[in-house]
Amino acid sequence: MQKGSSGVWGRAPSHLRKDYTMRIVFMGTPDFALFSLKALVEAGEEVVGVVTQPDKPRGRGYVLTPPPVKVYATEQNIPVYQPQTLRNGAFDETLAELDPELIVVVAYGKILPKSVLDYPKYGCINVHGSILPEYRGAAPMQRAIIDGEKTTGITTMYMADGIDTGDMLLKEEVAIEENDNFEDVHDKLGACGASLIVKTLDMLQRGELERIPQDHTLATHAAKITKEDCELDFTKDAKQLHDLIRGLSPIPLAFTHTPDGKMLKITEARLISADASCGNAGEIIATEGGFDVACGKGALRILGVLPEGKARMSAADFVRGRKVGIGDILK
Protein backbone atom coordinates (compact mmCIF):
# COMPACT_ATOMS: atom_id res chain seq x y z
CA MET A 1 0.00 0.00 0.00
CA GLN A 2 1.27 3.44 -0.83
CA LYS A 3 2.39 5.64 2.05
CA GLY A 4 -0.25 8.14 3.04
CA SER A 5 -3.20 6.10 1.75
CA SER A 6 -6.05 5.01 3.99
CA GLY A 7 -7.26 1.52 4.68
CA VAL A 8 -5.31 -1.42 6.08
CA TRP A 9 -1.59 -2.00 5.91
CA GLY A 10 -1.13 -5.45 4.42
CA ARG A 11 1.49 -7.86 5.65
CA ALA A 12 4.79 -6.09 6.07
CA PRO A 13 7.56 -6.96 3.62
CA SER A 14 9.49 -10.04 4.71
CA HIS A 15 12.55 -7.93 5.58
CA LEU A 16 10.49 -6.19 8.27
CA ARG A 17 9.14 -9.31 9.92
CA LYS A 18 12.22 -10.78 11.60
CA ASP A 19 14.78 -9.00 13.72
CA TYR A 20 14.64 -5.98 11.43
CA THR A 21 14.83 -2.51 12.93
CA MET A 22 13.78 0.51 10.93
CA ARG A 23 15.91 3.61 10.76
CA ILE A 24 13.94 6.00 12.96
CA VAL A 25 14.23 9.75 13.43
CA PHE A 26 12.59 10.89 16.66
CA MET A 27 11.14 14.40 16.86
CA GLY A 28 10.14 15.69 20.30
CA THR A 29 11.05 18.24 22.93
CA PRO A 30 9.58 18.18 26.51
CA ASP A 31 9.38 15.59 29.27
CA PHE A 32 6.26 14.08 27.69
CA ALA A 33 8.31 13.17 24.61
CA LEU A 34 11.10 11.75 26.75
CA PHE A 35 8.87 8.88 27.92
CA SER A 36 8.55 7.64 24.33
CA LEU A 37 12.16 8.21 23.30
CA LYS A 38 13.42 6.21 26.28
CA ALA A 39 10.99 3.40 25.50
CA LEU A 40 12.14 3.19 21.88
CA VAL A 41 15.81 3.13 22.87
CA GLU A 42 15.22 0.52 25.58
CA ALA A 43 13.22 -1.59 23.10
CA GLY A 44 16.28 -1.70 20.85
CA GLU A 45 14.86 0.44 18.05
CA GLU A 46 17.39 2.08 15.75
CA VAL A 47 17.04 5.78 16.52
CA VAL A 48 19.49 7.40 14.09
CA GLY A 49 18.79 10.98 15.09
CA VAL A 50 16.77 13.19 17.41
CA VAL A 51 15.25 16.49 16.27
CA THR A 52 14.23 18.86 19.03
CA GLN A 53 13.61 22.54 19.69
CA PRO A 54 16.55 24.92 20.19
CA ASP A 55 17.83 25.52 23.74
CA LYS A 56 15.86 28.27 25.49
CA PRO A 57 16.55 30.64 28.41
CA ARG A 58 14.80 29.50 31.58
CA GLY A 59 14.46 30.52 35.20
CA ARG A 60 15.10 33.86 36.84
CA GLY A 61 18.65 33.90 35.51
CA TYR A 62 17.49 33.12 31.96
CA VAL A 63 20.06 30.34 31.73
CA LEU A 64 20.17 28.71 28.29
CA THR A 65 18.70 25.26 28.94
CA PRO A 66 18.53 22.24 26.61
CA PRO A 67 15.24 20.36 26.17
CA PRO A 68 14.91 17.11 28.18
CA VAL A 69 14.96 15.08 24.97
CA LYS A 70 18.32 16.58 23.98
CA VAL A 71 19.86 15.79 27.37
CA TYR A 72 18.85 12.13 27.15
CA ALA A 73 19.81 11.73 23.49
CA THR A 74 23.25 13.17 24.19
CA GLU A 75 23.71 10.71 27.06
CA GLN A 76 22.81 7.90 24.65
CA ASN A 77 25.20 9.19 21.95
CA ILE A 78 22.33 9.79 19.54
CA PRO A 79 22.97 12.69 17.14
CA VAL A 80 20.83 15.73 18.01
CA TYR A 81 19.55 18.37 15.58
CA GLN A 82 17.92 21.65 16.62
CA PRO A 83 16.82 23.49 13.48
CA GLN A 84 15.23 26.92 13.90
CA THR A 85 12.77 25.98 11.15
CA LEU A 86 11.80 23.02 8.99
CA ARG A 87 10.13 25.20 6.38
CA ASN A 88 11.28 26.03 2.85
CA GLY A 89 13.50 22.96 2.65
CA ALA A 90 15.71 24.12 5.55
CA PHE A 91 15.98 20.59 6.97
CA ASP A 92 15.71 18.56 3.76
CA GLU A 93 19.44 18.00 3.29
CA THR A 94 19.92 16.80 6.87
CA LEU A 95 16.86 14.57 6.58
CA ALA A 96 18.27 12.98 3.42
CA GLU A 97 21.55 12.29 5.22
CA LEU A 98 19.70 10.62 8.11
CA ASP A 99 17.54 8.74 5.59
CA PRO A 100 14.87 7.56 8.05
CA GLU A 101 12.37 4.87 7.12
CA LEU A 102 10.03 6.15 9.84
CA ILE A 103 9.68 9.38 11.82
CA VAL A 104 8.16 9.25 15.31
CA VAL A 105 6.80 12.59 16.55
CA VAL A 106 5.89 13.31 20.18
CA ALA A 107 5.22 16.91 21.29
CA TYR A 108 7.85 18.33 18.95
CA GLY A 109 6.30 21.80 18.93
CA LYS A 110 6.59 22.65 15.23
CA ILE A 111 4.39 21.83 12.25
CA LEU A 112 6.05 19.39 9.87
CA PRO A 113 6.11 20.56 6.23
CA LYS A 114 5.05 18.23 3.41
CA SER A 115 8.67 17.56 2.43
CA VAL A 116 9.27 16.01 5.87
CA LEU A 117 5.92 14.20 6.09
CA ASP A 118 6.46 12.58 2.69
CA TYR A 119 10.09 11.51 3.14
CA PRO A 120 10.05 8.29 5.23
CA LYS A 121 9.01 5.07 3.52
CA TYR A 122 6.74 4.10 6.42
CA GLY A 123 5.43 7.57 7.16
CA CYS A 124 5.35 9.78 10.27
CA ILE A 125 3.67 8.41 13.38
CA ASN A 126 2.54 10.74 16.16
CA VAL A 127 1.79 10.00 19.83
CA HIS A 128 -1.16 12.25 20.74
CA GLY A 129 -2.43 12.87 24.28
CA SER A 130 -6.14 12.24 23.76
CA ILE A 131 -8.59 9.73 22.35
CA LEU A 132 -8.99 11.17 18.87
CA PRO A 133 -10.90 12.72 17.24
CA GLU A 134 -11.63 14.49 20.54
CA TYR A 135 -9.18 17.10 21.83
CA ARG A 136 -7.14 17.74 18.73
CA GLY A 137 -4.63 20.54 19.16
CA ALA A 138 -2.04 22.00 21.50
CA ALA A 139 -3.43 21.32 25.00
CA PRO A 140 -5.40 18.06 25.06
CA MET A 141 -4.39 16.98 28.56
CA GLN A 142 -5.13 20.31 30.23
CA ARG A 143 -8.41 20.78 28.38
CA ALA A 144 -9.67 17.30 29.27
CA ILE A 145 -9.11 17.99 32.98
CA ILE A 146 -10.59 21.49 32.76
CA ASP A 147 -13.67 20.04 31.06
CA GLY A 148 -14.14 17.59 33.92
CA GLU A 149 -13.55 14.46 31.84
CA LYS A 150 -13.30 11.16 33.73
CA THR A 151 -11.10 9.51 31.11
CA THR A 152 -8.59 10.52 28.48
CA GLY A 153 -5.92 8.50 26.71
CA ILE A 154 -3.35 8.11 23.97
CA THR A 155 -3.81 7.71 20.24
CA THR A 156 -1.02 6.75 17.88
CA MET A 157 -1.73 8.07 14.41
CA TYR A 158 -0.27 8.71 11.00
CA MET A 159 0.42 12.39 10.48
CA ALA A 160 -1.30 14.30 7.69
CA ASP A 161 -1.36 17.91 6.51
CA GLY A 162 -4.00 18.97 9.07
CA ILE A 163 -3.44 19.23 12.83
CA ASP A 164 -4.11 15.81 14.39
CA THR A 165 -6.32 14.78 11.47
CA GLY A 166 -4.46 11.69 10.24
CA ASP A 167 -5.53 8.07 10.33
CA MET A 168 -5.60 6.52 13.79
CA LEU A 169 -3.66 3.37 14.69
CA LEU A 170 -3.89 2.33 18.35
CA LYS A 171 -5.72 3.81 21.34
CA GLU A 172 -5.55 3.28 25.07
CA GLU A 173 -7.70 4.97 27.71
CA VAL A 174 -6.42 6.35 31.02
CA ALA A 175 -8.57 7.35 34.01
CA ILE A 176 -8.58 10.90 35.34
CA GLU A 177 -9.12 10.69 39.09
CA GLU A 178 -11.08 13.31 41.05
CA ASN A 179 -8.01 15.18 42.30
CA ASP A 180 -5.57 14.45 39.47
CA ASN A 181 -3.85 17.58 38.21
CA PHE A 182 -2.06 18.24 34.92
CA GLU A 183 1.20 16.76 36.21
CA ASP A 184 -0.55 13.54 37.29
CA VAL A 185 -2.29 13.09 33.95
CA HIS A 186 0.83 14.12 32.02
CA ASP A 187 2.85 11.37 33.69
CA LYS A 188 0.13 8.75 33.25
CA LEU A 189 -0.20 9.56 29.57
CA GLY A 190 3.56 9.80 29.08
CA ALA A 191 3.95 6.24 30.34
CA CYS A 192 0.94 5.08 28.33
CA GLY A 193 2.25 6.73 25.16
CA ALA A 194 5.66 5.10 25.63
CA SER A 195 4.22 1.59 25.77
CA LEU A 196 1.77 2.28 22.95
CA ILE A 197 4.38 3.59 20.50
CA VAL A 198 6.52 0.50 21.08
CA LYS A 199 3.46 -1.69 20.45
CA THR A 200 2.57 0.36 17.37
CA LEU A 201 6.02 -0.11 15.83
CA ASP A 202 5.98 -3.83 16.64
CA MET A 203 2.63 -4.22 14.87
CA LEU A 204 3.87 -2.14 11.93
CA GLN A 205 6.85 -4.44 11.50
CA ARG A 206 4.53 -7.45 11.65
CA GLY A 207 2.16 -5.96 9.08
CA GLU A 208 -0.72 -5.94 11.59
CA LEU A 209 -1.59 -2.24 11.79
CA GLU A 210 -5.00 -1.04 10.70
CA ARG A 211 -5.38 2.57 9.62
CA ILE A 212 -8.69 3.99 10.85
CA PRO A 213 -9.81 7.30 9.31
CA GLN A 214 -11.11 9.83 11.81
CA ASP A 215 -14.73 10.93 11.80
CA HIS A 216 -14.10 14.66 11.47
CA THR A 217 -17.70 15.47 12.48
CA LEU A 218 -16.84 14.24 16.01
CA ALA A 219 -13.67 16.32 16.34
CA THR A 220 -13.17 18.77 19.19
CA HIS A 221 -10.32 21.26 19.54
CA ALA A 222 -7.97 21.69 22.52
CA ALA A 223 -6.79 25.27 22.11
CA LYS A 224 -3.54 26.53 23.60
CA ILE A 225 -3.94 27.80 27.19
CA THR A 226 -4.01 31.59 27.45
CA LYS A 227 -3.75 33.93 30.45
CA GLU A 228 -7.46 34.64 30.16
CA ASP A 229 -8.16 30.92 30.63
CA CYS A 230 -6.30 30.98 33.96
CA GLU A 231 -8.30 33.62 35.84
CA LEU A 232 -10.71 32.27 38.44
CA ASP A 233 -14.29 33.56 38.35
CA PHE A 234 -15.84 32.64 41.68
CA THR A 235 -19.37 33.23 40.38
CA LYS A 236 -18.94 29.86 38.62
CA ASP A 237 -19.67 26.50 40.25
CA ALA A 238 -17.02 25.13 42.62
CA LYS A 239 -16.74 21.94 40.53
CA GLN A 240 -15.82 23.97 37.41
CA LEU A 241 -13.21 25.94 39.32
CA HIS A 242 -11.74 22.82 40.91
CA ASP A 243 -11.33 21.30 37.44
CA LEU A 244 -9.72 24.51 36.18
CA ILE A 245 -7.23 24.62 39.06
CA ARG A 246 -6.32 20.94 38.52
CA GLY A 247 -5.91 21.39 34.78
CA LEU A 248 -3.51 24.31 35.21
CA SER A 249 -1.34 22.89 38.01
CA PRO A 250 1.63 22.86 38.37
CA ILE A 251 1.88 25.20 35.35
CA PRO A 252 0.77 27.79 34.36
CA LEU A 253 -1.56 27.93 37.44
CA ALA A 254 -5.00 29.44 37.90
CA PHE A 255 -5.04 32.80 39.65
CA THR A 256 -7.18 35.29 41.52
CA HIS A 257 -6.43 38.54 43.40
CA THR A 258 -6.34 39.27 47.10
CA PRO A 259 -8.24 42.29 48.49
CA ASP A 260 -5.10 44.44 48.14
CA GLY A 261 -5.02 43.70 44.41
CA LYS A 262 -2.04 41.32 44.39
CA MET A 263 -2.11 38.25 42.18
CA LEU A 264 -2.50 34.96 44.01
CA LYS A 265 -1.91 31.75 42.05
CA ILE A 266 -3.54 28.56 43.29
CA THR A 267 -1.44 25.40 43.26
CA GLU A 268 -3.86 22.99 44.92
CA ALA A 269 -7.51 22.90 45.99
CA ARG A 270 -10.22 20.47 46.99
CA LEU A 271 -13.93 20.49 46.32
CA ILE A 272 -15.67 20.58 49.71
CA SER A 273 -19.20 21.38 48.54
CA ALA A 274 -20.59 21.10 45.03
CA ASP A 275 -24.16 22.24 45.54
CA ALA A 276 -24.96 24.34 48.57
CA SER A 277 -24.74 28.12 48.54
CA CYS A 278 -22.04 28.96 51.09
CA GLY A 279 -21.70 32.74 50.89
CA ASN A 280 -20.91 35.53 48.47
CA ALA A 281 -18.85 34.53 45.43
CA GLY A 282 -15.15 34.78 46.26
CA GLU A 283 -15.72 35.21 50.00
CA ILE A 284 -13.37 33.43 52.40
CA ILE A 285 -15.68 31.56 54.75
CA ALA A 286 -13.23 29.48 56.83
CA THR A 287 -9.49 29.32 57.54
CA GLU A 288 -8.79 25.86 58.93
CA GLY A 289 -6.32 23.68 56.99
CA GLY A 290 -6.03 26.38 54.35
CA PHE A 291 -8.93 28.65 53.45
CA ASP A 292 -12.38 27.96 52.08
CA VAL A 293 -13.84 30.11 49.32
CA ALA A 294 -17.53 30.38 48.45
CA CYS A 295 -18.38 30.00 44.77
CA GLY A 296 -21.52 30.60 42.71
CA LYS A 297 -22.54 27.13 43.79
CA GLY A 298 -20.56 25.17 46.38
CA ALA A 299 -17.16 25.96 47.89
CA LEU A 300 -13.46 25.18 47.47
CA ARG A 301 -10.77 24.59 50.05
CA ILE A 302 -7.51 26.17 48.90
CA LEU A 303 -4.52 24.09 50.03
CA GLY A 304 -1.56 25.59 48.18
CA VAL A 305 -0.74 29.02 46.77
CA LEU A 306 1.93 30.99 44.96
CA PRO A 307 1.69 34.62 46.13
CA GLU A 308 2.91 37.42 43.89
CA GLY A 309 6.67 37.84 44.28
CA LYS A 310 6.93 34.89 46.69
CA ALA A 311 7.69 31.18 46.66
CA ARG A 312 5.05 28.45 46.70
CA MET A 313 3.62 27.81 50.15
CA SER A 314 0.76 26.07 51.89
CA ALA A 315 -2.47 28.01 52.12
CA ALA A 316 -2.32 27.52 55.89
CA ASP A 317 1.02 29.38 56.01
CA PHE A 318 -0.45 32.11 53.81
CA VAL A 319 -3.29 32.55 56.29
CA ARG A 320 -0.90 32.53 59.24
CA GLY A 321 0.95 35.41 57.61
CA ARG A 322 -2.40 37.26 57.86
CA LYS A 323 -2.56 37.81 54.13
CA VAL A 324 -6.24 36.82 54.05
CA GLY A 325 -8.96 36.15 56.58
CA ILE A 326 -12.62 35.27 56.98
CA GLY A 327 -14.84 37.76 55.17
CA ASP A 328 -12.19 38.81 52.63
CA ILE A 329 -13.25 38.68 48.99
CA LEU A 330 -11.00 37.22 46.30
CA LYS A 331 -11.61 38.67 42.88
**In the prediction, which pLDDT does 8 show?**
36
For residue range 31-78, list pLDDT tens digits in order: 999 999 999 999 999 999 999 999 999 887 889 999 999 999 999 999
Checking if the pLDDT of 15 tops 70, the result is: no
Average pLDDT over residues 237-256: 98
Domains 14-222 and 227-320 share a fold: no
Provide the pLDDT confidence category of residue 29 given band limits of 50, 70 and 90.
Answer: very high
CA distance 6 to 291: 55
Domain segments of the chain as ranges: 14-222, 227-320
Checking if the pLDDT of 7 tops 50, the result is: no
Superfamily of domain 227-320: Formyl transferase, C-terminal domain (3.10.25.10)
Q: How many CB atoms lie within 10 A of CB 311?
A: 6
Checking if the pLDDT of 14 tops 70, the result is: no
Is the pTM higher than 0.85? Answer: yes
Average pLDDT over residues 192-219: 96
For residue range 139-189, list pLDDT tens digits in order: 999 999 999 999 999 999 999 988 999 999 999 999 999 999 999 999 999
Checking if the pLDDT of 27 tops 90, the result is: yes
Fold category of 14-222 in CATH: Rossmann fold (3.40.50)
CA distance 26 to 33: 9
User: Are the beta carbons of 185 and 176 closer than 8 angstroms?
Assistant: yes
Checking if the pLDDT of 263 tops 80, the result is: yes
Average pLDDT over residues 223-249: 97
